Chains A and B, each alone.
Chain A
Amino acid sequence: MTAGPATPPRPATAGPGSTIGWRGGLAQIGRYTFVSLVLGFFALPLLWLATAPFDRTPTITTSLPEFTLDNFRALLDNPYALRSLWNSILLSGGTAVLVVTFAALAAYALSRVRVPGRDALLYGLLLLSSIVTGTATMVPLYELAFRLNLIDSRLGVILILSGGLLPAAIFILKDFMDGTPTSYEESARVFGASPVQIVWQIVLPMVRPGLATVAVWAVANVWGNFLVPFLLLRNPDKAPAAVIMYTLYTEGGQANLALLSTFSLLYSLPVVLMFVFVSSRYGFRFHGGIKR
């Protein structure tokens, strides 16, 4: 029936046609009801995050705020709040740099040089990285960190997280490298550039979108990661925002809602901004390869 040259008139417009119309109307109502319910379900938990930070007397209940910015002063009064955000920046920045650098080098070599068993290696790494999750291996990770003297070390957290992110990062970047023509590299070689110069000055600029993708993806992952720093970092001075947020609401006593709400907002803002930036610039669709 697709695009038949002469579309036949709708059969029996009076009979089934009207049922379709009646049913269609009902379906429309059903659809609007469903969409409204979905909106309510997803908006409801988020409302508190939008109102409480600006409320003169923040409570657990969501309510229209009496507007104030005073709550943000609580961030300065708490010794851990701002420092933990700095720690989050250190951890996610460090991991992103490590992952992008190591993955770019490996992806380039795997894309251009015929190594025997390369496809099997990539396949194996990808399989491994989807199986060996932090949750399934928290026991040996803790043991390993202990033996390598990486307990309470931010570098340890960075290394462990990088190890987990690298296989997928190599995979994504190899895709980008495979898609770039080799003619620039060849002509640079003719003019006597060294392999390292070629990679640094020619290949990396060409795959910049790929590098940015992987960097954003790594930052988003580490920024929200709770388990690994929670396991490995003892000293609250080194804990990232994910862990400090948890201690703020689980530690005994009356929760300081002014602090909790403003801290939640400030901690969430960078990922939201990053997400808005990426989706407005590249379009957040399935081919981006960015996800959690």
Chain B
Amino acid sequence: MARTTSPPEPETATGGPAAAPGDPGTPLARRADAAGLGRALAGGFVLPGLVLIVLFLVVPALWTIYLGVTNYRLTGLAAADPQLVGLDNYTAALGDERFRTSLWLTLQFVFGSAVLGQAGLGFAIAWSLRDRHGPVRRLVEALVLLAWILPSSVVAFLWIALLDRDAGTLNALLGTPGMAWLLDHPMLAVILFNTWRGTAFSMMLYGAALQNVPPSHLETARLAGASTWQQLRDVVFPRIRGHVLTNLLLISLWTFNDFTPFLITAGGPEQRSEILPVYVFKIALSGGELGFGAAISFLMLLINLVIALVYLRTLGQRREARR
């Protein structure tokens, strides 16, 4: 469920909750309950979906909080009779070198592959293709999108093959036989991989956003002698600021919750690419320390909550601004 559960696009969302109450196009009196469902049947319609959501989204979230304050383990004495240990798991985590390293690696991963990699490259591609409509543009878009839609275990292997020490295509191409990319630079490899994997979303979002920039404004700026950088800063950026923020928040959230690096490096070697999702998996499900793992999970949920709240806030502000 890494990237699966995400709010729909800003474009789609604008028609959502805000459109309901005071929408002038559809008078409430006419719209209300046209099929004569009635409250009871309407409740019955909502119920099955709601049950699944409560059971598999709400309960796990709450359970994380509870498990996080216990010493629950997969096996042994604490498995049969878990004890409440208060905030011990949290203090232990903060004092744990491996956790702090993992947090730092996660930060590198999100900043390097999402903010710099995906958003930067995505914007650059959208910018350089903005006035193209030929086969080159279609080819670039098709390849970038292909990297995005292929199943994660397939692309993981494609990258393992590409970076292979003895027979990898990259070493053959660069003339660096025997270069063990995944052992010597695991974090760099994973960051490049995730940039490759996820640029499509940013490319498409910025491609749509750049259509809001009138070409005549750019032309004017260009004739006035503005450099590309000045054009971007003074003409383009003010018009797509909302898109940039939306994009950065969403891809940060997804990258932060991405489990795919596990498929390439499994956190190794020596935990040098062990981002938080991989760390939790290893200590909780491989190592059996469910209570401690739940505490880390709860910290992840809190970080997710902060990003998501900022995201929904900016969406709301954009909607207000548009009125």
Q: Please, which residues of chain A bring their CB within 8 A of the CB of B305?
A: 127, 131
Q: Please, which residues of chain A bring their CB within 8 A of the CB of B157?
A: 245, 249, 260, 264
In angstroms, Cα B140 to Cα A109, docked, is 43
In angstroms, Cα B49 to Cα A135, docked, is 22
Cβ contact of A185, chosen from B13, B35, B149, B309, cutoff 8 A: B35
Complex contact B2–A135 (CB within 8 A): yes
Complex contact A129–B57 (CB within 8 A): yes
Q: Please, which residues of chain B bring their CB within 8 A of the CB of A174?
A: 16
Q: Sort chain A's interface into a size bin.
A: 35 or more
Complex contact A136–B297 (CB within 8 A): yes
Complex contact B63–A144 (CB within 8 A): yes
Complex contact B57–A286 (CB within 8 A): no
In angstroms, Cα B61 to Cα A34, docked, is 44
Cβ contact of B263, chosen from A62, A246, A286, cutoff 8 A: A246
B129 at the interface (CB under 8 A from A): yes
In angstroms, Cα B257 to Cα A45, docked, is 23
In angstroms, Cα B48 to Cα A183, docked, is 27
Which chain B residue lies CB-closest to A228? Answer: B1
Complex contact A130–B5 (CB within 8 A): yes
Which chain A residue lies CB-closest to B66? Answer: A140
Complex contact A159–B52 (CB within 8 A): yes
Complex contact A165–B4 (CB within 8 A): yes
Residues of A within 8 A of B (CB): 1-3, 10-11, 16, 19-20, 27, 31, 34-35, 38-39, 41-49, 59-62, 98, 101-103, 105-106, 108-110, 112-115, 118-119, 122-123, 125-144, 159-168, 170-172, 174-175, 178-179, 182-183, 185-186, 188-189, 195, 198-199, 203, 220-221, 223-228, 231, 241-243, 245-246, 249, 260, 264, 267-268, 271-272, 275, 284-287, 289, 291-292
Cβ contact of A129, chosen from B5, B64, B205, B217, cutoff 8 A: B5
Complex contact A287–B12 (CB within 8 A): yes
Q: Please, which residues of chain A bring their CB within 8 A of the CB of B152?
A: 224, 226, 242
B245 at the interface (CB under 8 A from A): no
Q: Please, which residues of chain B bring their CB within 8 A of the CB of A115?
A: 39, 42, 46
In angstroms, Cα B53 to Cα A127, docked, is 12
Interface of B is mostly: helix
Cβ contact of B57, chosen from A43, A47, A114, A163, cutoff 8 A: A163
Complex contact A140–B225 (CB within 8 A): no
Q: Please, which residues of chain B bring their CB within 8 A of the CB of A285?
A: 204, 208
In angstroms, Cα B259 to Cα A16, docked, is 53
Complex contact B45–A27 (CB within 8 A): no
In angstroms, Cα B219 to Cα A2, docked, is 10
In angstroms, Cα B220 to Cα A10, docked, is 11
Complex contact B140–A35 (CB within 8 A): yes
Shortest Cβ gap from A136 to chain B (Å) = 4
In angstroms, Cα B55 to Cα A160, docked, is 8
Q: Considering only CB atoms and an 8 Å cut-off, how many residues of chain B contact the other chain? A: 122
B69 at the interface (CB under 8 A from A): no
Q: Please, which residues of chain B bring their CB within 8 A of the CB of A179?
A: 15
Which chain A residue lies CB-closest to B217? Answer: A2
Complex contact B172–A105 (CB within 8 A): no
Q: Please, which residues of chain A bring their CB within 8 A of the CB of B60?
A: 132, 137, 140-141, 144
In angstroms, Cα B54 to Cα A102, docked, is 14
A132-B301, A134-B2, A226-B263 in contact; A272/B146 too (CB < 8 A)? yes
Residues of B within 8 A of A (CB): 1-9, 11-13, 15-17, 19-21, 26, 28, 30-39, 41-43, 45-46, 48-50, 52-53, 55-61, 63-64, 67, 121, 124-125, 128-129, 136, 139-140, 143-162, 164, 166-170, 172-173, 196, 201, 204-205, 208, 214, 216-217, 220, 222-223, 225, 228, 253, 257-260, 263, 277, 280-281, 284-285, 290, 293-294, 297, 300-301, 304-305, 308-309, 311-312
Complex contact B5–A164 (CB within 8 A): yes
In angstroms, Cα B260 to Cα A199, docked, is 41
16 A-B residue contacts at CB 8 Å?
A59-B167, A123-B17, A123-B312, A130-B253, A139-B64, A139-B294, A141-B60, A161-B4, A168-B5, A224-B152, A228-B1, A268-B154, A271-B150, A272-B150, A286-B208, A292-B148
Chain A-chain B contacts (Cβ-Cβ < 8 Å), number: 365
Cβ contact of A168, chosen from B6, B158, B160, B216, cutoff 8 A: B6
In angstroms, Cα B212 to Cα A111, docked, is 31
Shortest Cβ gap from A166 to chain B (Å) = 5
Complex contact B158–A48 (CB within 8 A): yes
Complex contact A106–B49 (CB within 8 A): yes
Complex contact A225–B1 (CB within 8 A): yes
Cβ contact of A138, chosen from B3, B173, B281, cutoff 8 A: B281
Q: Please, which residues of chain B bring their CB within 8 A of the CB of A163?
A: 52-53, 55-57
A46-B147, A102-B49, A267-B154 in contact; A289/B34 too (CB < 8 A)? no
Shortest Cβ gap from A89 to chain B (Å) = 13
Q: Please, which residues of chain B bring their CB within 8 A of the CB of A183?
A: 34
The 4 A-B residue pairs with the shortest CB-CB distance in the complex, in nearest-first order: A163-B56, A134-B1, A182-B34, A102-B49
Complex contact B15–A175 (CB within 8 A): yes
- Beyond A61-B172, A133-B257, A136-B297: 10 further Cβ-contacts under 8 Å? A31-B128, A39-B140, A102-B49, A128-B53, A130-B311, A138-B285, A140-B294, A165-B4, A171-B13, A179-B15
Which chain A residue lies CB-closest to B144? Answer: A42
Q: Please, which residues of chain B bring their CB within 8 A of the CB of A131?
A: 61, 301, 304-305, 308
In angstroms, Cα B13 to Cα A129, docked, is 15
Complex contact A44–B169 (CB within 8 A): yes
